[in-house]
Amino acid sequence: MGTHRPKCGAAALKTHITGCLVHGSQLYLYTDLLQWPHDPNLTITCLVNAITSNTNVLPPKLYVQCDNCGRENKNKYVIGFLGYLCLSGYVKEAYLSFLLKGHTHEDIDQRFSVISHRLRRVNAMTLPQLQKEIESSFHDKPHQEVLACVRDVKSWLDNSLCEMSFHSFQYQFWLYCDRPNHVTLKYRKFSTDSWLPEAGQNQIELFDLEMTRYNTIPQGIPKICQQHYDDSRIEMVRNNVMKMKNFLNFQEYTWWMEFLNNPTKSTPKITRWPLTNLLKMHKIIDIQIQLVPTEDPEPSCISEMLESEGLIREIKTKEKKERERIKLMTNSIFICNLCSIAGLQRCLK
C-alpha cells in the first residue's frame, strides 16, 4: 500500500495482488495481506475462483498460461489439479503453458503497469482506498476480491499424486483422459516439438493406480488454510499509524484501528469451495489423440537455446506405493547396520 510524504519511510502494510486475466471475460484481482504462503495453494485458489466466477460449467478445453515460477505455478500440484479437473469431468482436456525466459505476459503485465502508474500519483491510505484506486485505473471495471480463504490443495492432492521430476525443463503440458477414470500427461519443450511421450512409449502416470488400473483421486474438498500474520510487522504498522494519525481523516484512522485490533476480521467470511456447484459435463470415454507434426523448420533461435540448455529431459513420476516400499527397505537396511555394529550374533539369535 503506497505511502507518500510526510511519512514516506514508515513501515507500510504489505499487500499482494494476484491477477487472473480470463480472455473474453474479465480481469480478476485477488488481494491478500501475506497471511498465507505464496505457493500452489494460493495459485490454485485464485485460478478456481476466476474460472468459476460467472459460470456453473467449464468449457471442454481449458488453456492456462502462468509465470514460469516453480514455487507457485510450475509444480506437480498445479499440474495435478488440472488433471483432477479432467478426471472429474469438469473439462475434457487442459493445457498448461509457460513463457520462455526473457519474455513477459504482454497482456496481464500491462494491467499491472496501469495500476503501478496510478499508485505513483495517488495515495492509498487503506485497503478500501487501494481497491478504489485500482478500479479507477481501468476503463473496464475489473473484478476485485480480498481473498476470503485459501484451500490446502497440496495436502488434499498429496496422497494421490505421484512424485514428479524434471518437469521444470518443459514449457507446455497437455492433460486429458485417455481411457475411463484415467488421466495422462504429455509435455513438450517448444510449440514446434511433438508431444511426449509418443504412442508406444511408456506413458506418464500422474496419479497413483488402484488394482483396477483406475486413478486414485482425492475425495471431498480441501481444508481451509489458517491465516498467519506477522505480529512484529503488525506492531510496526500500529506504531506508525499512531504517529501519523494527525494526517489521517476519521474514516481512515477508524479503519486502521479496526484492522490492527483484529486483522482476520478484514477477511470476508465466504468459504465456499467453487467446484461444489460446477456441473460435470465432460466425463468422457475416449478422446482422439492428435500429435503436432514437426515438419516446419525449427527457428535458429530455438536451436541455439537447445544447444545452450543441453538435451531435453524426460519427465518421470513414481507411484506413492513404490515410494513407501523403498522407504520400508531403507528402514530395514538401517536396522541391520545397527545390529552389525553391536555384533553379528544379535541377528543370529
Q: What is the pLDDT along the chain (349 residues), one digit of tens a residue?
A: 544 444 555 678 899 999 999 998 899 999 999 999 999 999 999 999 999 998 999 999 999 999 989 999 999 999 999 999 999 999 999 999 998 877 766 788 889 999 999 999 998 999 999 999 999 999 999 999 999 899 999 999 998 999 999 999 999 999 999 888 899 999 999 989 999 999 888 889 999 888 667 788 889 999 999 999 988 889 999 999 999 899 999 999 999 999 999 888 766 666 789 999 899 888 754 445 444 444 445 555 555 655 555 555 678 787 765 555 544 444 443 333 333 333 333 333 3
Which pTM was predicted?
A: 0.80
* 184 and 254 inside one domain: yes
Those residues whose C-beta lies under 8 Å from the C-beta of residue 188, and which sit 6 or more positions away, are: 170, 171, 172, 194, 195, 196, 292
* 26 and 62 inside one domain: yes
* 329 and 198 inside one domain: no
* 237 and 341 inside one domain: no
> Which structural domain, as residue segments, surrounds residue 343?
321-349
* 273 and 243 inside one domain: yes
Residue 270 lies in a domain: yes
* 142 and 237 inside one domain: yes
Determine how β-strand 26-32 pairs with β-strand 61-66: unpaired
Residue 1 lies in a domain: no
* 179 and 296 inside one domain: yes
Tally of domains within the chain: 2
The number of beta carbons lying within 10 Å of the beta carbon of residue 54 is 10
